[in-house]
Chains A and B, each alone.
Chain A
Amino acid sequence: MRHALFGLSALLLLGLAVHAVAQSQDGAEIAWSTSPSSIVTPSQNIDKSAWESHRGRVRTPSEDQHLVDPVLNGAIDLHAHFGPDAYSRQWDAFEIARMAQARGMRGLVFKNHWSESAGIANLVREYAAPGLEVFGSLALNTPEGGINPQAVRYFAEVEGHFGKVVWMPTHDAEHEVLSRGQARPYVRVSADGALLPEVLEVLDLIAEFRLTLATGHVTSEEMLMIVRAAQRRGIDRIIMTHPNLGPAYTDPNMEQMREAIAMGAYIEVVASQLRRAGRDEVIAKIRALGPEHCIISSDSGLVGTPNHADALVMAARDLRSAGFSERDLDLMFKINPARVLGLPDQLGPPAP
């Protein structure tokens, strides 16, 4: 099985089995005018989908540690996974919002890889945690039609206008799928060294509707092309999605990160990066790049991970003991997240 997979992925990497024109499962060529044009389906879809490839991972739920820390007062978590989802999440959107509010946080951006959450953000604000600044996001993976301008235009218009962050492809990004050696549908953002026209149309919409761009799990070169094109359109709310979390994600070098920062991008560091091998390197990079350009988010939600507030507190304590000041922490947990969402600076929780 492993060999078969490797063989196929090698073919994919060599471009032998993949064409710009995809094929349907029964082998017929698809005319893409009425269906997603940025999605490529391998001739043999062995791994089916990113959530299928997650199947069978069973974990013990984590305990709420009720960690208390001033860093939570006014914090905004830009990367809050929630249920329901196609793989198991420990808490649903209502539970996470209530927990965040009880812990003094200012806001959350709900992240799901497969479906947008602008409507859920609206309902959560009204029924679960009034006063918490909750936003939805949209990740341009296969279930949303890949790089789909129509999805972005819809997302910008959902009642309440709480749809805020648009992620370029994440788990379905060509880079992630091929670098994991998987044979499953993926979303391209570029071909022959240039961004697809659909990507530019999506960036036009992000600029027009003042949304926030997150770069997703693309290659470092693609990430830079996206940030350059965004900057040309005047987009000043850009998150570079967790660089250096691993080779299947965007894995830029310092020079590439500095180039993106110079164009206004914030570097996202997810809490788990501070609690695993390589943490010293991550801390050194934050120091070198400057806390004024970095954002800490939880990326929590999977069964077994610390809850979102606990994860942020643990990250803050790690950074504090590494020598970062309270001002640095305010920047990375409160001020920069607010700015990248276009919200006013505010250091404490919202007034009751």
Chain B
Amino acid sequence: MADEGAIKSREQRIKSLLVGAIDLHCHSGPSIMPRTLDHIEALQEASAAGLRAVLIKDHYYSATPITELLNKQFAHLGVTLLSGVPLNNALGGFNIYAVDHGIKLGARMVWMPTFTAKNHIEANASGKGFPQTSKSMLAPIPLTVLDAGGKLIPEVGPILDLIAEHDVVLSGGHLHITEIFPLFEEAKRRGVKRLLVNHPSFLIGATHDDIRALVAMGSYIEHSFCLFIEMVGRGRPPVFPPEELAALITAGTVERTILASDLGQVGNDRPVEGFMSVISTCIDLGFSDEQIRRMISLNAAELIGLDEVSQGAAASARAPG
């Protein structure tokens, strides 16, 4: 009986932590990758669990027209959908006009190249096992922010200026850590304030010391928690042990760590299920409720400027025309 009571109170603890959570990395569809849920299902499930916001990430398209449409059509669900501009080949690579248009529509993040990053392509060729598109696409044009001499290529500077001017988030995408450091230094020099590194321990090549250095630069560190939880639906143990996540959090600090799902792939658990698993993992690792809330909600809200976004949306709803 005591066990049952303990299980129940743990479930309640997990569910109450879910309320107000923010998923900064949701791979819902439609997409060209096989997805287990679409954007509207992601929105509905997030709403049912009490999440505050979901940021949709597609590697091939700028999803902001869709998130703005759904924020209007599904306003009653009470979840803010966000998105951004992924600078892969399908949007022209380092294409400032894609960034300009995305921001005009409300994009809150600009991802440096992900699937068509030179680093991603090389890592995939050596068998990193990233999800693939359903059918083969055109051969990617590998993208890197550095020229042969290790200096930033000129296309990047004006893009950083635009990110700074509109105060949106710069994500390092799938660039290698050796590209991210010079990129972020230049970004800061040009006034970019919101910096994010996605899954630094996976594909990016960042050590714990690198993570400390990124945090010292003012960057937030996002871990794709799908890598550290059991996939309940298919009984697959975590890809990396939870202790590794704990060590990464220690390196990056609770104050600068964001846990986001990176879920949506067919066969994997759905994002909300994943959130329940990662909260459970964090409880087992000894994190307090306050610390967990920081990592699954408050840090993300600060990075994205979510309170400002909400105010902006309210203001534009009042504005005539």
Contacts and interface: CB of A to CB of B under 8 A. Distances in A.
B153 A120 contact: no
Interface size band for A:
35 or more
A259 interface: no
A79 B49 CA distance: 39
A318 B104 CA distance: 38
Interface in A1-56: 24-26, 28-31, 33-36, 39, 49, 51
A141 B69 CA distance: 22
Contact of A92 (B73, B133, B157, B158): B73
A144 B138 CA distance: 16
Most chain B beta-carbon neighbours within 10 Å: one of A25, A51, A303? A25
A117 B94 CA distance: 21
B29 to A, nearest CB: 6
Contacts of B255: none
Contacts, number: 158
Contact of B30 (A123, A143, A150, A153): A123
Nearest to A146: B92
Q: Is the interface of A mostly helix, strand, loop or mixed?
A: loop
Interface in A141-174: 141-146, 148-151, 153-154, 157-160
A25 B60 CA distance: 26
Contacts of A159: 29-32, 35
A28 to B, nearest CB: 4
B216 interface: no
Contacts of B90: 145, 148, 150-151, 153-154
B69 A33 contact: no
B66 interface: yes
Nearest to A159: B30
A248 interface: no
Nearest to A145: B92
Given A24-B154, A122-B30, A144-B92, A39 B97 contact: yes
A126 B92 contact: no
Interface of B: 29-32, 35, 38-40, 60-66, 68-70, 72-73, 89-98, 100-102, 104-105, 133-135, 137-138, 140-141, 143-144, 153-155, 157-158, 161, 321
Interface of A: 24-26, 28-31, 33-36, 39, 49, 51, 58, 83-86, 88, 92-94, 112, 114-120, 122-123, 126-128, 141-146, 148-151, 153-154, 157-160, 185, 303
